[in-house]
Copies of this chain bind each other. A is one copy, B any other.
């Protein structure tokens, strides 16, 4: 396999789409989406405030926005129980679960190379502002 073909098999010269994975990044790696998906995957079905507490510092407004987007993209399922007080549960969908190997790869790269990034940063900062 040539080094030119290791990431993509078909070469597109369209300057407007220099990176074919941009749409996926927009869907999966928007802010707060990875903590949400990660938590829902690990902890299973969960209520709104539970989710909020697990993630930490996230305001209800923003959490709602992200959950709506994830629901629209089919990565998260929302179940509304018409009771008093109302109860809403969120869970990861099958499509969301299909991201598992991807996230595993990400965690793997993190474990293998995150310290290299830290080293590079220290070298850069030390070399530019001593």
On A, residues with C-beta under 8 Å from B are 3-4, 6-8, 11, 15-16, 18-25, 27, 29, 34-35, 38-39, 41-42, 44, 53-56, 71-75, 95, 98-107, 109-110, 112-114, 116-117, 119-121, 123-125
Question: Quick check: A101 and B105 within 8 Å, CB to CB?
Answer: yes
Interface majority SS on A: helix, strand, loop or mixed? Answer: helix
Please give, as numbers and ranges, the residues of chain B lying within 8 Å of A56 by CB-CB distance: 15-16, 18
| Pairs of residues from A and B, 8 with the lowest C-beta to C-beta distance, nearest first | A74-B120, A19-B35, A19-B38, A29-B29, A72-B124, A24-B110, A18-B35, A15-B56
Closest B residue to A37 by CB, please name it.
B19
Q: How many copies does the complex hold?
A: 2
Also in contact, A107 and B8, with CB within 8 A (given A56-B15, A72-B124): yes
Q: Is the CB of B15 within 8 A of A54?
A: yes
**A41-B3 Cα distance, complex, nearest whole Å:** 8
Q: Is the CB of B95 within 8 A of A20?
A: no
B contact residues around A120 at 8 Å (CB): 72-74, 95
Are A74 and B117 touching (Cβ within 8 A)? yes
Chain B contacts for A11, CB-based, 8 A: 42
- The CB with the most chain B CB atoms within 10 A, among A15, A41, A105, is that of A105
